Amino acid sequence: MRYDPDLGLAVRRLRHTKGVTQEALADRIDVSAPTLCSLERGLIDPPWSRVRAIARAIDVEMDELGAAVEAVTR
């Protein structure tokens, strides 16, 4: 099953903006790099606890992450 890729694309864009590698973010949120890659590609749907961990790990507020997801859809 393929999930909505907007969250993953927003995470990827914010991660790049913050200068964080996929490997570093995966380590910070305690997942494997392939798992993070799958999330960024929209292949998995993370639980909210993981979404909050991602926001903390890349130093953004949840509303900023939400705005980034909304920007993907425009």
Instruction: Please say whether the beta carbons of 71 and 11 come within 8 A.
Output: no
* Dist CA 36 CA 8 (whole Å): 9
- Check residue 53 and give its pLDDT: 97
The domain segmentation of the chain, as residue ranges, is: 6-73
* Dist CA 55 CA 64 (whole Å): 9
- What value does the mean pLDDT take over residues 14-31? 97
| 37-74 pLDDT per residue, tens | 999 999 998 999 999 999 999 999 999 999 999 998 77
- What value does the mean pLDDT take over residues 5-22? 96
Query: What CATH topology corresponds to 6-73?
Result: 434 Repressor (Amino-terminal Domain) (1.10.260)
Residue 35 has pLDDT above 80, yes or no: yes
